């Protein structure tokens, strides 16, 4: 299942001028940062590590300007953003869900790291005023990521305390209700009361403890999930 995608058009290495253009994009960002924010943050996590310090500084400046909705003088990172795609090669990045696993499918065959980072940042700049802050926050986390592109990165981009899968990113409230065995709560009336959440959390902790029959090998992960689920519900 395709969760998010971004097409960009990039000049070839032999071209006399360096150019980029945005193509079609599907970047769902609700609830923030959404699958779109995870994809854009993942693009930076993968390609920004190959930029030098000077380029990282310019990316940081560019992101701040786009976050504020300002007009960007061209070129940036020695590339010009344009709408014309003639003579440019298409690159496609996707975020895919396989069961609960979130997987990055990034095009590493076409384009340069600078081009991919630029297009991701420019794409974030096309989002609405209310959406941009959370998305750029996620991308800032990705900018300095040096680990693998997996569940831990997805959690990091979303500011989560446990490895994140499709359910957590797509509907964190529903995920949290499931973790705390509160799935029968009527969501039309909002999240459960603080008292109910705390009680479910304590019950979950007791059940996870090996002394009460919990699996000792999975206790740490289960407790981390309970803590994160409580945090999500009490933040609402």
Check pLDDT > 60 for residue 126: yes
Check pLDDT > 60 for residue 214: no
Rounded to whole angstroms, the Cα distance separating 72 from 7 reads 21
DSSP 115-156: HHHHHHHHHHHTS-TTTHHHHHHHHHHHHT--S-SSHHHHHH
Please state whether 190 falls in left (phi above 0), alpha (psi between -120 and 50) or beta. Answer: left
Check pLDDT > 90 for residue 183: no
Name 147's Cβ contacts closer than 8 Å, sequence gap at least 6. Answer: 153
Specify whether 145 is located in the same domain as 187: no
Specify whether 72 is located in the same domain as 149: yes
For 162-175, what is each residue's pLDDT tens digit?
Answer: 888 999 999 999 99
Specify whether 142 is located in the same domain as 228: no
The answer as to whether 91 is a domain residue is yes
Res 156: pLDDT: 94
Res 14: pLDDT: 83
The answer as to whether 85 is a domain residue is yes
Where does a domain end: 106, 131, 161? 161
Query: Across residues 200-228, what is the average pLDDT?
Result: 79
Specify whether 28 is located in the same domain as 133: yes
Q: Give the largest CA-CA distance in the chain.
A: 69
Specify whether 150 is located in the same domain as 177: no
In terms of residue numbers, what domain contains 201? 171-234
Res 186: pLDDT: 57
Residue 220 is inside which H or E element, if any? Answer: helix 219-234
Distances (CA, A) of 133 to 24, 29, 50, 201, 202: 22, 11, 25, 31, 34
Res 213: pLDDT: 56
Reading the block at residue 184, the tokens are 């029968």
For 195-211, what is each residue's pLDDT tens digit?
Answer: 999 999 999 988 887 66
Res 185: pLDDT: 62
Distances (CA, A) of 22 to 121, 122, 146, 157: 11, 8, 26, 23
Q: Which residue has the tokens 């298409």?
A: 90
Give the total number of structural domains in the chain.
2
For 28-54, what is each residue's pLDDT tens digit?
Answer: 999 999 999 999 999 999 999 999 999
The answer as to whether 166 is a domain residue is no
As a whole-number percent, the residues of the chain with pLDDT over 70 amount to 93
Rounded to whole angstroms, the Cα distance separating 219 from 222 reads 5
Where does a domain end: 130, 161, 192? 161
Residue 13: strand, helix, or coil: coil
Res 220: pLDDT: 82
Specify whether 154 is located in the same domain as 183: no
Instruction: Say what the pTM is.
Output: 0.90
């Amino acid at each position: 299942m395709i969760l998010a995608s971004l097409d960009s058009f990039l000049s070839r290495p032999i071209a006399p001028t360096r150019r980029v253009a945005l193509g079609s994009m599907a970047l769902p960002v609700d609830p923030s940062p959404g699958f779109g924010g995870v994809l854009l943050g993942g693009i930076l996590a993968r390609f920004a590590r190959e930029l030098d310090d000077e380029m990282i500084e310019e990316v940081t400046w560019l992101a701040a300007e786009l976050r504020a909705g300002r007009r960007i003088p061209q070129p940036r990172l020695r590339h010009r953003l344009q709408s014309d795609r003639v003579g440019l090669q298409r690159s496609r990045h996707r975020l895919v869900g396989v069961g609960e696993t979130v997987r990055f499918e990034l095009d590493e065959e076409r384009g340069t790291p600078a081009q991919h980072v630029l297009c991701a940042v420019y794409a974030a700049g096309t989002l609405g005023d209310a959406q941009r802050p959370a998305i750029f926050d996620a991308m800032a986390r990705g900018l300095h990521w040096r680990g693998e592109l997996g569940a831990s990165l997805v959690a990091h981009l979303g500011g989560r305390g446990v490895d994140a899968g499709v359910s957590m990113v797509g509907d964190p409230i529903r995920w949290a209700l499931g973790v705390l065995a509160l799935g029968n709560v009527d969501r039309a009336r909002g999240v459960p009361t603080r008292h109910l959440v705390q009680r479910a959390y304590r019950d979950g902790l007791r059940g996870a403890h090996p002394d009460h029959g919990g699996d000792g090998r999975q206790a740490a992960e289960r407790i981390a999930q309970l803590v994160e689920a409580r945090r999500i519900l009490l933040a609402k």
